[in-house]
């Protein structure tokens, strides 16, 4: 069941018993605040001489969509049954965190022509107090959506779409094609910390396979290097024999006998 509001002194939305409010074509809800979020609309103090405007709600839910913000009070009143404002009509948005009390989201609202706010109000100060938290989450989502919408308007303007070139008009922007999701964070890969064998598993070093030395190289210092990079070189150490070689005593005796006979011949 739809309920159309009439004679409400602010921008209003079509209400629905099932979904809270009626979505616009291509509209998606991206964030919903806790139910104890307050709203206040008032004339800035820097505008003296203007008929002051002051509308507030002590509790309600703020909905952020890909086109606007919508506020639905928990207890509607004749002066505030709902409120909505296009995202691109909200300026100077920021979050303030007081020492005591909940966080406050503030924006300067540029009222929509014919939206119900008196035309004498060129700028309205909008404040939402997030009593149950969520102000920074709301602000983060809002800034990302606003940035993507401005980029989409620039693209439409460069392509020669006249409808998107007048102020904050999104009539010529394909909202369904606007990417609103957060991009993944960039992670830098530290190449200096990577091992040269990352992702490569050679066969284990086996000296028996390379006993001929054909697949190895020497570093000139008595050690043989591995053909696989990163492996420790295999050292070859020289160890002297413990005893005499085979036939050593026979060769010595034969040499002594030959020398003795040679000296006998010389003495004759």
- Tell me the per-residue pLDDT of 112-163, one tens digit each, with 9 for 90 and over: 887 778 777 788 999 999 999 999 999 999 999 999 999 888 887 777 765 5
- Does residue 140 lie in a domain region? no
Q: State the DSSP code for 121.
A: -
245 versus 162: which is more confidently predicted? 245
Domain range enclosing 82: 2-134
Count of structural domains, the chain: 1
- Does residue 163 lie in a domain region? no
In the prediction, which pLDDT does 214 show?
Answer: 45
In the prediction, which pLDDT does 32 show?
Answer: 96
Under the banding of pLDDT at 50, 70 and 90, the label for residue 103 is: very high
Average pLDDT for 198-226: 49
In this structure, what token pair is assigned to residue 114?
Answer: 């014919």
In the prediction, which pLDDT does 229 show?
Answer: 56
Under the banding of pLDDT at 50, 70 and 90, the label for residue 17 is: confident
Q: How confident is the prediction for the chain on average, in pLDDT?
A: 75
- Does residue 238 lie in a domain region? no
Is the pLDDT score of 204 beyond 80?
no
- Does residue 149 lie in a domain region? no
Asked if residue 42 lies in contact with residue 55, where contact means CB atoms within 8 angstroms, the answer is yes
Under the banding of pLDDT at 50, 70 and 90, the label for residue 18 is: confident
Query: What is the CATH classification number for the domain harbouring 42?
Result: 2.30.29.30
**0.75 cut: is pTM over it?**
no
Asked if residue 79 lies in contact with residue 62, where contact means CB atoms within 8 angstroms, the answer is no
In the prediction, which pLDDT does 131 show?
Answer: 96
Q: Which helix (DSSP H) or strand (DSSP E) does residue 149 occupy?
A: helix 135-158
- Does residue 189 lie in a domain region? no
- Does residue 129 lie in a domain region? yes
In the prediction, which pLDDT does 264 show?
Answer: 75
Average pLDDT for 38-50: 80
Find all residues with CB under 8 Å of 169, minimum gap 6, and list them: 163
Is the pLDDT score of 261 beyond 60?
yes
- Does residue 94 lie in a domain region? yes
């Amino acid at each position: 069941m739809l309920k159309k509001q009439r004679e409400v002194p602010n921008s209003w939305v079509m209400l629905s018993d099932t979904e809270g409010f009626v979505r616009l074509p291509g509209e998606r809800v991206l964030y919903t605040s806790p139910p104890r979020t307050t709203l206040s609309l008032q004339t800035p103090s820097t505008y003296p001489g203007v008929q002051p405007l002051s509308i507030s709600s002590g509790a309600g839910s703020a909905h952020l969509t890909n086109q606007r913000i919508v506020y639905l009070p928990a207890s509607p009143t004749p002066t505030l049954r709902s409120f909505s404002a296009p995202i691109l009509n909200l300026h100077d948005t920021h979050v303030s965190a007081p020492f005591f009390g909940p966080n406050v989201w503030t924006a300067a609202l540029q009222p929509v022509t014919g939206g119900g706010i008196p035309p004498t109000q060129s700028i309205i100060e909008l404040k939402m107090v997030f009593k149950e938290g969520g102000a920074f989450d709301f602000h983060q989502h809002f800034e990302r959506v606003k940035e993507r919408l401005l980029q989409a308007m620039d693209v439409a303007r460069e392509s020669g779409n006249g409808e998107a070139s007048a102020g904050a008009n999104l009539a010529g922007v394909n909202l369904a094609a606007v990417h609103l999701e957060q991009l993944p964070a960039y992670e830098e890969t530290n190449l200096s910390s990577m091992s040269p064998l990352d992702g490569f598993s050679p066969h284990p070093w086996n000296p028996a396979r390379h006993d001929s030395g054909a697949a190895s190289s020497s570093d000139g210092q008595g050690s043989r290097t591995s053909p696989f990079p990163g492996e420790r070189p295999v050292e070859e150490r020289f160890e002297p024999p413990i005893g005499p070689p085979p036939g050593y005593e026979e060769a010595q005796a034969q040499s002594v006998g030959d020398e003795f006979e040679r000296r006998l011949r010389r003495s004759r």
